[in-house]
Structure 1
C-alpha cells in the first residue's frame, strides 16, 4: 500500500503531462518530468533514512537481547520463579505421566495471569522452566495418554505464542521513533 502511495505523485505528473502534452513543448514536458523525479527522489531518500534508523535500532535491540540471554540465570531466582509458576509441581524431574499434564496446566495458568507484567528477564526464567518441562515431557512421552499429550502440545504452542508476541512488541517498541 505504501509503495502505491509513493507512486501517486508520479501518476499525477504523468496524467498532468499527458493532458498538457498538446499545449506544451517537449522541453517544458521534460522539465515537469525532472521536477517530479526530484520529488520522488526526496520521498525515496526520506524512506531510506527511516529504514536505516529502524535497522540500527533493531540491531541494538538484538544485540542487547543476545547479551541478556548470555548472562546465566540466578539459580535461587530460578527456583523461586519456578515455585511461583509451578506450585506443587516444581520438582520437574519427578513429574510422571499422570502429573505432567497438570503441571503444564498450572504453568500456563500462571503465565497467562502474570505475563503482562514481565520483563524480558522474567521471560528468560519462564523459558528456562518451559524447557525443563519440555525435557521431562520428552523423557516420559511414550507413557502419556494421547489426550494429555495433545493438551500439552497445545499449551506448549500457547506459551511460544505469548513469548513471541512479547518479543515482537519489544522489537516494535525499540524500532519506533522516539
Structure 2
C-alpha cells in the first residue's frame, strides 16, 4: 500500500512538473514568434510600416496577448528581452500614431459610423465583431473605386481600430468567427493593394 501511494505521489509530481515545462515552453515559443516578427518588421522600410500600421498594430497585439498574461513564467533574461521589444514597439507606435493625428476628428467619426455603424468601436461586444467586419467590407467593396487616397487613409484607420478591438476580445470569439474575420481581413488588405497597384500603373503611364 505504501509503495502504491509513493508511486502515485511520484506520478502526480511528475505530471505537475511536466505541465510546468509545457507552460514554460509555450510562453518561450510565443517570445520566439514575437522576436522573429520584430526582426522581419524591423527590416522593412518606414514607409512600409507606416502604410501597414493598422495591420502591424493588430499583429503585435495578437502576438503579445499570451505573453502579457504569462510573462511571469518567462526566465529573467527572456523578461528583459520582452521588455526591450515592448519599448521598441512603443517607439514605433509613438512615431506612427503621431502621423495619424492629421485626420479630422469629425470626419473620422463620420467614417466610423459609415463603415461600422458606431463611433464606439473600442466598446464593441465580441458577438458583434463579425457583423461589423462584414459591414465594413460591404461598404469597401461598393465604394472603393470612388475613394481618393485620403478616403483610404480614413478607411484604413477605422479598419485598424476594429482590428485592435478584435485583438482585445480574441479569446471571447468563437472559432468560426475567428476564421471568418480573418478571411475578411485578408480581403480588405487585397482591396487596398489593388488600389495601390492601380495607382502605380497610372503613375507609370503618366511618366511615359
TM (norm. structure 2) is 0.50
Q: Tell me if 1:157 matches 2:186.
A: yes
| Counterparts of residues 117-132 of structure 1 (less than 5 Å) | 117-132=146-161
Larger Rg: 1
Q: Structure 1 regions of 5+ residues with no counterpart?
A: 1-61
User: In structure 2, what is the equivalent of residue 96 of structure 1?
Assistant: 125
RMSD: 2.1
User: In structure 2, what is the equivalent of residue 106 of structure 1?
Assistant: 135
Q: Structure 2 regions of 5+ residues with no counterpart?
A: 1-46, 52-97
Query: CA offsets, 1:109-144, max 9 Å, x none?
Result: 111111110000000000000000000000000110
Aligned residues: 112
User: In structure 2, what is the equivalent of residue 80 of structure 1?
Assistant: 110
**Alignment partners' CA distance in 2, 1:171 and 1:76:** 31
Cα drift, residue 97 of structure 1: 1.2
Query: CA offsets, 1:61-80, max 9 Å, x none?
Result: x8xx98xx947111111111
TM (norm. structure 1) is 0.58
Selected match of 1:137 from 166, 173, 181 = 166
**Alignment partners' CA distance in 2, 1:90 and 1:79:** 6
**Alignment partners' CA distance in 1, 2:129 and 2:136:** 10
Give the secondary-structure state (helix, strand or coil) at the position aligned to 2:126: coil
| Counterparts of residues 48-87 of structure 1 (less than 5 Å) | 70=99, 72-87=102-117
Cα drift, residue 86 of structure 1: 1.2
Moved over 4 A (4+): none
User: In structure 2, what is the equivalent of residue 148 of structure 1?
Assistant: 177
